[in-house]
Amino acid sequence: MILEYSACVILLIQLVLIHESRGSLFSDECLRHGLKNYYDPTTDSCWIVQATPLTYDRTTLQCNHMPGYDGHLAFPKTLNHSWIIWTKLVAYNSWIGLQHFGSPATVSNKSEWYWVYPDGRKEGAADLWINGYPTAGGGECAYSYGNNVNSFYNVPCTSVPAKFVCQYDSSTAHHETTLEHKCKQQNQWFWWEADKSCLLLDTVRRWIEFSKLLCTHIPGYRGHPVFPKTIEKIHAIGALRDGIKVDSIGTGMERDKNMTSGKVGLFWRRFDGYKESFNIKAILPGQTISLDAPGADYTFIEGDLISDWWDGTAMTLCEYEETLRYAPTLLDIQCASLSLPHLYYQGSCYVRQETFVTYDVAKKSCTHIDGFNGRLAVLHNSELVRLMYFTLTLPSGGYDSTYVGLERLNTTGAAGTGYYWILGNGQTLPVTDFTPFLGGHPTGTSCTLLYNYYLTTYECTYERPFICEYVEPTKGTHFQVNANTANMKALPQFIIQVYDDLSLQESCGYQCTKEPGCHSVVYNENTRNCLLQSVNSNMLYVKSTNIISAPGYAWYDRY
């Protein structure tokens, strides 16, 4: 008997410890958020107030602060919960999860009011109304005043926007995917449950043409500018924007050239360059007054609409999806963790350092990433020069001249000769392409600056910021297939060389490694046709008309 009693005591202690352990993890996650929040140990629930005023229909999409838990507008069913709203959250006059389900003429019927759970289940609230509510003249949604038990009243759902309280219960925990977990480690994140995708807002204004290359916040997931394919998603993004108090947000929707109407030729540009057609009927009739300028290349979210956007700047809302996973490299991971302006692109991590130093000091200062020998950036074509300016210099608001890794090593010839890119480990690459230089340059001086989106040569004693480059050890010697972009190739102007009888894709790739300008290959196993290309699938600012379908070909990127 004593043994049985002791066993019961031990079991009870274990159950308590397990419950407290889970409760502790849940409460820690609850209190991690910077918004006003409160963990209620009596019900093991988390209450978070969102102070951005929204109409009721928009609030129902916003209780997603805690991926891994199903959130809903709060259910203040007890005096304790009313006290939480009034005292701890200071959230009087807030939307709560109480709605009327019935005829608009019968809103005063208490039996037609329900708490609505995330799974659609409804629970009656007839016995909770006091103080003369609900009233026949009120609306079909509920406010909580919060200073007393059941002190809520009914108002029109489309009335003046108000703050709202979200509730999360530990019992609603569901399997948290890797993407969900990684998502909530980021700043300005937003989980869109309908698509199981993570949205991350970059509030630095960038040119949309280049901003799509910056969606690399979560290594292992290929990001793209957001795809707001439904009116509900547009509303949710609008609420996110309003809460952070930013203006325009660029989207991943683009438009083909030479369209006669603004509402045709629209498509979603995937990370791999593939065009996914857009059916505008998916967001009508809510989308009625925009998308009417056929000359605009891009789109952005303005209010509750997708609007036309020319080549301007906007905030970037990146979207990451579970299906777009890949195996990240160590450099990829370390690059994403940097706080300085950076870009991981084609096997290199580029980092802008704003410190003003001479060229010789800059050469020794590329030490941002342990385990990789850094060098000043090698920008041997106009594409890379423009890329560094529009992704790292212009958005940062920093000085417009930065050192890069180009020196004049041979001074015996004419002023425009003898320039070499410094690759590191004693290796150099002679300059063969002078198109990235500003008119009148190079001038014969020893060092080189990236000035706006040109290269200029100056004396090495000038103190300037600099751009470093860290390179994957195998960069340029390996090829990876884009599984989602098979059957793609570039138009002829991007084809460097054509081989009609190469028995293996590896043979095609080997030919590419011998061409400095070759970034990718497309290969047809049936015809053994090989095409060497000057573009790869990450060059998203190549206009859409440069890419066509080619059945039977697979696209391999060089990295």
Q: Higher-confidence residue: 27 or 2?
A: 27
Determine the Cα–Cα distance for residues 212 and 317; give it in Å rounded to an integer. Answer: 9
Dump pLDDT digits (tens) for 495-515: 888 888 877 767 788 788 888
By DSSP bridging, strand 401-408 and strand 419-424 are antiparallel
Specify the pLDDT at position 73.
92
Q: How confident is the model at residue 245 (pLDDT cuts 50, 70, 90)?
A: low
Token pair recorded at residue 307: 């609007």
Q: Percentage helix, strand, coil, to 5, in the chain?
A: 25, 35, 45
pLDDT tens string 146-159: 555 557 888 888 87
The rounded percent of the chain whose pLDDT value lies above 90 is 24
The answer to whether residue 490 scores a pLDDT higher than 70 is: no
Which pLDDT belongs to residue 544?
42
pLDDT-derived band at 11, boundaries 50, 70, 90: very low
* 239, 62 Cβ separation under 8 angstroms: yes
List pLDDT tens digits, range 48-96.
988 888 888 888 878 888 878 888 999 988 877 888 888 888 888 889 9
Closest by CA position to 223, among listed 200, 192, 191: 200
Average pLDDT on 515-522 reads 82
pTM (2 d.p.): 0.71
As a dihedral over the C-alpha atoms of residue 42, residue 175, residue 71, residue 191, rounded to 10 degrees, the angle is: 140
Greatest alpha-carbon span in the chain = 102
Q: Are 355 and 405 contacting, i.e. CB atoms less than 8 angstroms apart?
A: no
Q: How confident is the model at residue 329 (pLDDT cuts 50, 70, 90)?
A: confident
Let me know: does 275 contact 324? Beta carbons within 8 Å.
no
Domains of the chain, each with CATH number or no CATH: 2-173 (3.10.100.10), 178-325 (3.10.100.10), 330-471 (3.10.100.10), 479-558 (3.50.4.10)
Q: Which phi and psi angles does 20 have, rounded to 5°?
A: -65, -35
Q: How far apart are CA 501 and CA 504, in angstroms?
A: 9
Q: Which of 304-308, 331-335, 525-529 is modeled with the greatest confidence?
A: 331-335
The whole-angstrom separation of Cα 319 and Cα 301 is 15
Q: Tokens for 250? A: 């660029």
Mean pLDDT of 212-235: 87
Q: What is the pLDDT of residue 285?
A: 63
Contact status, residue 165 vs residue 45, Cβ threshold 8 Å = no
pLDDT at 6 over 60: no
> How far is residue 171 from each of residues 43, 46, 80, 168, 207, measured CA to CA in Å?
10, 11, 19, 9, 44
Q: Is the dihedral of CA 172, 175, 177, 181 positive or negative?
A: positive
Return the bridge partners of 406, or none. Answer: 421
Mean pLDDT of 25-31: 76
Task: Give strand ranges (E) for 42-140.
Answer: 45-54, 69-73, 94-100, 113-116, 122-124
Residue 523 buriedness (CB in 10 A; 0-12 / 13-18 / 19+)? buried
Confidence of residue 493 (pLDDT cuts 50, 70, 90): low
User: How many helices (H) and strands (E) would you count in the chain?
Assistant: 10, 34
